[in-house]
Amino acid sequence: MRFDRSDGVFCHVTSLPGAYGIGDLGEGAREFLSFLGDADVDHWQICPIGPTLSVAGESPYQSPSAFAGNPLFVDPDGLVDDGWLDPADLEPVPDFPTDRVDYDAVREYKQPLLRTAFERFEERATEADRAAVDEFREHEPWLPDYALFRALSDARPEDLWTGWPEPLRTRDPEALAAAREEHAEEVRFREFVQWTFDRQWRDLRAVAAEEGVSIVGDVPIYVALDSADVWASPEAFQLDAENRPTAVAGVPPNAGDTGQRWGNPLYDWERLAEAEYDWWLDRFRRLFELADVARLDHFLGFAKYWAIPADSDDPADGEWRDGPGRDLFETVERELGEAPFIAEDLGFEEPEMDELMAEFGFPGMSVPQYADWCTEGNEYQPMHYTEGVVGYTSTHDTDTWVGYFDDLPERQRDCFRYNVGAEPDDPVEWAIIDDVWASDAIMAMTTLQDLLGLGSGARFNEPGTLAGNWEWRVTRDALDDAIADRLWELAGDHIR
């Protein structure tokens, strides 16, 4: 195993407390890290932290960049501290809801603040400030293309980049140079925002380190079609001569369903192998600038993947193709060292995937919400977890534990209580947290919603739906000392 036995809490950045309508990199994040430090928790797990779009339901898994940070996470108070905003610029602060994110209202408030901060930077920045932005640009080769992509997308909001005029779509050098000149100010603005995000994130990561907390980031295996990633690096993907996808991602039909067509462009693994997986190395380098550990979403796709012809809407028309397998991870280890990866292997029993995880020592995931509590020896019951897994009470894609338990048939509830030794009046959320912490899993993880004993109304995401997801937030008052103390005691009983 690549990890010591440890524990963690999942809470995406958007869910943190704060005064400006959405969790950000400011005071609320520091208070949350203090809570984790008091609880002696080892890990803070988050979703991807890239920009989100309303058209994609604000999903962090459909971002226009696998490298950039979310501008909505920038802390306005930090901009005041930097001198790019005056305190009066923040007023009046809208009466934002504290228990959920109203993304439209947050954008309406924060985007003008970011524009004002950029204008002040342009007016007031010292030579050292400008040199710092230049250094950031040189250190992050993805940044110029990302900034131009967002500028062009804003100028043509009705189109995906695949609908742009041919010279821009296929990245003709003269067309790109002309576009950079035409949109120079917008490009500088986008670069300024990313530089600001990066500085604030690094400051927050330093706070996490002081609290003894490592950050577990998240890597969606596929990127969105309408992203700077595909537009700027067409050679990394299965595209035709016009830079449009020839095949897209999904999963095949199984008994009782028709499969799924996700629509993400697929990687050209042969060409990537010839280039020593340069795009993926760049992605992992950026990730480990921002996080200490990485969860690899849909790990099966590295072993084999389902390729659906781009002109077909039927997942059944797809076929299995070989992924890069061990060659990719050998290259990663040769270039970056032993990488701390967690493999998301839920829902698949594939020998190729299991062998790849075993060879590199990547732990998989086990979630007790998939258990049959009345079947002896069921692998999803925490008592049967091995050190080869990370045990979760819930995930960002499942119901909360209380919501799940409320929907269980009565016999399953009775079997659960019998299995974990819980009395009828015992809080079921702490019964499962204790059971996961007591298991042999190399990591024990829970969500903040489960720590608080919240029901289905606090569910973070329901896959296959667009509305109402990624909105839940915690309040400052909910980060209670008694909960931190109980987690601290659990770690002493089972982890340390």
For residue 216, report the phi and psi dihedrals to the nearest 5 degrees.
-100, 105
Distance CA 270, CA 414 (A): 52
Let me know if 77 is a catalytic residue.
no
| CA angle, residues 282, 293, 4, in degrees to nearest 5 | 145
Q: Which amino acid is at 434?
A: D
> Contact at 8 Å (CB) between 441 and 364?
no
475: left (phi over 0), alpha (psi -120 to 50) or beta: beta
For residue 171, with 0-12 CB atoms within 10 Å meaning exposed, 13-18 middle and 19 or more buried, which class applies? Answer: middle
What Rg do the C-alpha atoms of the chain give, in angstroms? 23
And the tokens for 374?
């009345």
Distance CA 81, CA 25 (A): 13
In the set 229, 268, 297, 345, the catalytic residue is 297
Secondary structure of the chain: what % helix, strand, coil (to 5)? Answer: 50, 10, 40
> Which among 217, 229, 224, 223 has a CA at the least distance from the CA of 296?
217
Let me know if 344 is a catalytic residue.
yes
Distance CA 140, CA 132 (A): 12
- HSE, CB side, 13 Å, CA atoms: give it for residue 125: 16
> Contact at 8 Å (CB) between 487 and 40?
yes
> Contact at 8 Å (CB) between 286 and 67?
yes
In the set 77, 289, 397, 462, the catalytic residue is 397
In the set 344, 399, 435, 450, the catalytic residue is 344
Helix (H, G, I), strand (E, B) or coil at 23: coil
Let me know if 297 is a catalytic residue.
yes
> Contact at 8 Å (CB) between 245 and 225?
yes
The catalytic residue positions are: 297, 344, 397
